[in-house]
Structure 1
Amino acid sequence: MAVADVPDGRTPLVLVAGWSGPVHRTALSLLGDGRVGTVVIHHDLGQLREGVVRRTVTTGSVEAPEVRTEILELAHGCVSCTLRHDLLPLLRRLHARSSVDRIVLELDHALEPEAVCWAIEHVPVVGVVGQLDGPAVRDVRVDAVVTCLDAGEWWLAATGDDDLDDDRTVAQVAVGQVAFADALVVDDDTGEPWLSHRLRAVLARLAPGAPISGTPDAAALLPLIPADARRGRIFGTHAPLLRGGPPLHAEHGVSLVEFTARRPFHPGRLHEAIDVLLDGVVTARGRMWLATRSDVALWLESAGGGLRVASADRWLAAMTEDELAAADDERRAMAALGWDERFGDRDTSLVVLVHDADPDAVTGALDWALLTERELADESAWSTWEDPFGEFHEDPCADPDPVGRIAGAGLGTEQRSADHRSAEHRNTNGETKR
């Protein structure tokens, strides 16, 4: 169901997220802004693997909060189940209460707000008494996403290569929480001026236009969010990568590198070159055209020392007439502006946010991975090349419906991905590369 199709007597929803920083205080600050009908919901996922989730509901005021805690036991200990069986139905039930004027979700530190917003819009909620079956977007609308971070802790998380136990990296979560934010609460009192300056330069490019506050007061921050802020919207593979007008100049060693190409990557050379996106890089993201996969656009997304490549959607040029008729009108119009007689809308468009890498080295490595003129002319040979991106696996808790992607929000609705790590991945000869 499209948001535009939903009547707007919905309950406003604010998401407060963060790998580090004052998430709890920021969420509770919304109890003190004069709206007596605010409810703060928190699901503690610390014991999720044991099938136990601690749900806290807080009402009242900052000075005198009323807290109710309930222990939930799930048949399957996963984020997907928590959302489907408790959080999403709870949002719909709270909307039906006349005493609730606003809902605040204080997200567990391991939750990515993009995944939660996607579930709110797309995952059907069934069996709620007195309500038609359908997604929670029928009853709630995302007014803002606020992300909190402690500068020192976030920097270590966002530039490291630590793994979580659900096929994600810590960097993926930390970076994704900031990139999806409409506003930021930042504690940057690190005692190291270089880090504070570099962090601010990264935030300006990762979440352009998001107001930043040094105090956990969401009530004062929300009115500063621009009218054109994201507010929970999920963008597709072919949406612009530089939304919000981020600064394009270098600052304190931080800069955005744009890479575009109208010829495909050679799979073997790209696999060799891909480490350039994992050293001195905060994040890289965008769509790719791989010669061995001319029917589908691939989505690449990296954070810190981890990188993921996944099938995204079909190129318009590879669609059947029925598929093309159902394609998004805006996408078709944009593709028509640059349509190639031979290859149609196929292209590569990547944006790389570097903090300690040479932009020319990044561009040079990616250029080297593209097909040469001779290779481009011999299209019949492309399908014979070894494809190291062909070994896919399913994410944990993968389901027939796309909510199984909750563990990896950056992948769109796909559940299959190929993972790479800067510390170790295999090249086309099967050897270990470091």
Structure 2
Amino acid sequence: MSQTRTPLVLVTGLQPALTARAAQDLLHAAPGTVLVHHDVRELGQGVVLRTLREPGPAGVVEHRSAIELAHGCLSCTLRLDVLPLLRSLAARPDVTRIVLQLDPALEPEHLCWAIAEVLLDDEPVGEPETAADWVEVEAVVAALDAATWLGDASGEETMADRGLAATADDERTVAHVVVGQTAFADVLLLAGEPDDAWAAAQLDAVLVRLCPSAARLPLGGWQPGPVLAGLGAEARRGRLPTPHDPLLAGQPPLDEDAGVSLVRFEADRPLHPERLHEAIDALLDGVVSSRGRLWLATRQDRALWLESAGGGLQVGDAGPWLATLPDDPELWAQVDPQRAAAAALRWDPLHGDRASQLVVLTHRQAPLAITAALFSAVLTDDEYAAGPEVWATWPDPFGDWHDDPCEASGPADDADLHLTDREDRA
């Protein structure tokens, strides 16, 4: 196992031409940098095209390979080629930094999870290893088209509509992908200009609220060395989120600007599942993103996680409420201290930490329309008085959580305290 892990920079974005420009800048920023790109456009045929560029005596040397996979899926691409390649490159003494230029279909959050959690095949003698034993994420860099990003982030098109789907069953929306790429980034590189001053003001207002801690720079002429060295302690650097993270991390502006607002919804009573199902339609039009934890009357033991981007929405299991945990010091020791402190501040003698908290980033939907729709789902006095035994009998349209059979399908369920499975609602 490597004693000193090799820095890894992930370059993400929807337009390959822009990510290629950003990755090239990184390749030439420091000696010993290696640039890797996996083209997954033929993944459905079981083939991934890998390009590796590295410095040579006469300039940059390029190596191209066609990787054949028994199963054409992103998980196999990661497990069988990307992750082992990171280990082999990190083991080379002449490699000082690895740059991964991600295909639009590869989401940086998913890749960071795989780096940290997926055990490498063909282990050398010794303890099982992950790629994180060999590399550490120095930064995630997102290259954005300033003229089209906001439209992409608030639309309903799918990746398949754009010809960007990884496989035939890839149902992700473009908004889901671009919002995820951007929110997970430490550095945002903007190419081009919005159509007019109002569009520019809206884009600026959205980005500073979506990722307030990220550095924002023009793509042309940025200096990778100083930018990466200047990232502060608040930089994510590939850290995986949990459903119980602060919803307003990074201290984004809370005032309205250019029609853009952060709408906060909180309720200390449970939500009626059928009325909530109707209310969330307000989150799918004129909204860039929403995310938060919800307390359903029909689910007293576990929180519901909700997140949306544009016209697509995901719901899933956010793990147990702390009020349900047994008095076991070992189990409580696994609870994130920040979550435990936040729960203690609002602890209710009857319901513990159960509560609903949602943050919505809107640029066209009226904030009052959003809060009115969500508050309509809060139990009335009569419903609340009926109690949990009656609540449990109500229909729950959210159903069971989706189980993805792929081996490296998503975030790990750490001690059943974090995000588990999700289901999509387009």
| TM-score normalised by the chain length of structure 1 | 0.88
Partner amino acid, structure 1, of 2:420: E
Equivalents in 2 of 1:148, 1:133: separation in Å? 35
Count of aligned positions: 404
Q: CA 1:385–1:363 in 2, change beyond 3 Å: closer, same or farther?
A: same
Report how far residue 327 of structure 1 moved.
3.5
Matched, 1:404 2:400: no
CA contact (8 A) 2:147 2:195 kept: no
SS in 2 for 1:393: coil
Q: 1:189 — aligned with what?
A: 193
Report how far residue 413 of structure 1 moved.
4.7
Matched, 1:223 2:218: no
Q: 1:98 — aligned with what?
A: 93
Matched, 1:214 2:222: no
Equivalents in 2 of 1:360, 1:126: separation in Å? 52
**Structure 1 residues 119-146: Cα deviation after superposition (integer angstroms, max 9, x where no partner):** 1111111324467422111111111111
Percent identical residues: 50
Equivalents in 2 of 1:11, 1:117: separation in Å? 15
Report how far residue 416 of structure 1 moved.
3.9
Report how far residue 246 of structure 1 moved.
0.7
Matched, 1:89 2:98: no
Which of 365, 375, 379 is equivalent to 1:371? 379
Q: 1:173 — aligned with what?
A: 177
| TM-score normalised by the chain length of structure 2 | 0.90
Equivalents in 1 of 2:259, 2:38: separation in Å? 38
**Structure 1 residues 311-332: Cα deviation after superposition (integer angstroms, max 9, x where no partner):** 1211111223448435315133
CA contact (8 A) 1:151 1:186 kept: yes
Partner amino acid, structure 2, of 1:386: P
Report how far residue 391 of structure 1 moved.
4.8
**Structure 1 residues 172-225: Cα deviation after superposition (integer angstroms, max 9, x where no partner):** 000000001101100242332221211111111111021111124334532342
Question: Within 5 Å, which residues of 2 pair with 1:59-98?
Answer: 59-60=54-55, 64-98=59-93
Which of 232, 240, 245 is equivalent to 1:234? 240
Equivalents in 1 of 2:126, 2:183: separation in Å? 34
Q: CA 1:128–1:329 in 2, change beyond 3 Å: closer, same or farther?
A: closer
**Structure 1 residues 75-130: Cα deviation after superposition (integer angstroms, max 9, x where no partner):** 11111111111111111111111111110110111221111111111111132446
Partner amino acid, structure 2, of 1:302: S
Equivalents in 2 of 1:160, 1:98: separation in Å? 46
Equivalents in 1 of 2:336, 2:51: separation in Å? 43
Matched, 1:28 2:33: no
CA contact (8 A) 1:178 1:184 kept: yes
CA contact (8 A) 2:50 2:67 kept: yes
Partner amino acid, structure 2, of 1:175: V
Q: CA 1:26–1:50 in 2, change beyond 3 Å: closer, same or farther?
A: same
SS in 1 for 2:409: helix
Equivalents in 1 of 2:268, 2:118: separation in Å? 36
Equivalents in 1 of 2:384, 2:278: separation in Å? 19
Equivalents in 2 of 1:369, 1:8: separation in Å? 53
SS in 1 for 2:44: helix
Report how far residue 288 of structure 1 moved.
0.9
Q: 2:322 — aligned with what?
A: 316
Report how far residue 64 of structure 1 moved.
3.5
Report how far residue 235 of structure 1 moved.
2.2
Partner amino acid, structure 1, of 2:180: G
CA contact (8 A) 1:404 1:415 kept: no
Report how far residue 155 of structure 1 moved.
2.1
CA contact (8 A) 1:213 1:221 kept: no
**Structure 1 residues 349-370: Cα deviation after superposition (integer angstroms, max 9, x where no partner):** 1110000011111111111111
Matched, 1:383 2:396: no
SS in 2 for 1:256: strand
Equivalents in 2 of 1:279, 1:126: separation in Å? 44
Equivalents in 1 of 2:23, 2:386: separation in Å? 58
Partner amino acid, structure 2, of 1:333: A
**Structure 1 residues 56-88: Cα deviation after superposition (integer angstroms, max 9, x where no partner):** 111128x93211111011111111111111111
Q: CA 1:75–1:154 in 2, change beyond 3 Å: closer, same or farther?
A: same
Q: 2:138 — aligned with what?
A: 143
Question: Which portions of structure 1, spanning 4 or more consecutive aligned residues, are displaced by more than 6 angstroms?
Answer: none
SS in 2 for 1:22: helix
Q: 1:260 — aligned with what?
A: 266
Q: 1:409 — aligned with what?
A: none
Q: 1:428 — aligned with what?
A: none
Using the TM superposition, name which of 180-189 and 119-128 deviates more: 119-128
Equivalents in 1 of 2:325, 2:94: separation in Å? 50
Partner amino acid, structure 2, of 1:288: L
Equivalents in 1 of 2:204, 2:34: separation in Å? 32
SS in 1 for 2:112: helix
Q: 2:166 — aligned with what?
A: none
CA contact (8 A) 1:144 1:222 kept: yes
Equivalents in 2 of 1:112, 1:413: separation in Å? 17
Equivalents in 1 of 2:319, 2:100: separation in Å? 31
Q: 1:327 — aligned with what?
A: 334
Equivalents in 2 of 1:131, 1:78: separation in Å? 29
Which of 310, 325, 329 is equivalent to 1:304? 310
Q: CA 1:56–1:329 in 2, change beyond 3 Å: closer, same or farther?
A: closer
RMSD between superposed Cα atoms in Å: 2.0
SS in 2 for 1:389: coil
Equivalents in 2 of 1:325, 1:229: separation in Å? 27
Equivalents in 2 of 1:147, 1:166: separation in Å? 22
Structure 2 unmatched runs, 5+: 160-168, 412-417
Question: Within 5 Å, which residues of 2 pair with 1:330-349?
Answer: 330=337, 331-349=339-357
